[in-house]
Amino acid sequence: MLRKTYAVIAALAMAALAACGGGSSTGTSSGGSSGGGSGQTLKVGTEGTYKPFTFHDPKTNKLTGYDVEVVTAVAAKLGRSVQFSESTFDAIFAGLDASRYDVVANQISVNPERQAKYAFSEPYTVSEGVVVTRADDTSVNSIADVQGKTSAQSTTSNFAATAREAGAKVEAVEGFTQAVALLKQKRVDITINDNLAVLDYLKTTGDKGIKIAAKTGDRTEQAFAFRNDSELPPQFDKALAQLRADGTLAKISQKWFAEDVSKPAAS
């Protein structure tokens, strides 16, 4: 009887050890999964609500978007499958800190504050501020031309500050859609926004009533974010260089924006 008891205990112990050793590719990320080689699952943190970068297709409910396609292409170059974890933006870096995923793919702008805490890949998106006018308006050809004009802006945005610094009067709006409506109604002269948001609007709506008239000179680079101890950044950089060289990044960019926004330090 005692021998049978020992046998049962031994069998249970073996089962417990087997359970502890398996499932590493689908479980919660640990600090040790920040590197890894071909075949491991790449755990990606993203919002899933930020069109056109990471969102759910309303027809299929499938997660899609520019960032989703780029990180999936990178993972393919690394020989790894992808597992997405969706989170609010406010919680996304906390999830990275807690090792719930290996990388954040969510159009993360590179700035000194984030660089002090996280590692980044080379940029895969470059955005810039642009001045939008009515299609028939030929009075704006540079940021200097907005002086004295009225610009529709979210008052707390960086672009509201850009408009004021350029000498424009700011008319408060809740977002880009309302700004476009006021512009087309001739209640304002211009609106300033990120070129990616404007390009997405033009592509998805086919609106011929407005145009990008000038650039502001403000440029922002977006990159993948990692924990500082991650081994992934140089691997991502190599994969991104390959995707840039073989035209994949340009192809994905053209699909979502009808323009190549993947060029770093483009003139």
Over residues 9-35, the pLDDT tens digits come to: 344 433 333 333 333 232 333 333 445
CB 79 within 8 A of CB 238: no
**Rounded to an integer, what distance in angstroms lies between the CA atom of residue 135 and that of residue 142?**
15
Say if residue 165 is exposed, middle or buried (CB neighbours under 10 Å; 0-12, 13-18, 19+).
exposed
pTM of the predicted structure, to 2 decimals: 0.71
CB 249 within 8 A of CB 262: yes
Q: What's residue 252's pLDDT?
A: 97
213: helix, strand or coil: strand
**pLDDT tens digits, 118-143:** 999 999 999 999 999 999 999 999 99
Sequence-ordered list of residues with C-beta below 8 angstroms from that of 7, at least 6 positions apart, any chain: none
Average pLDDT over residues 151-172: 91
**Rounded to an integer, what distance in angstroms lies between the CA atom of residue 68 and that of residue 89?**
15
Residue whose C-alpha is closest to residue 219's, from 154, 267, 253: 267
Is residue 37 over pLDDT 50? yes
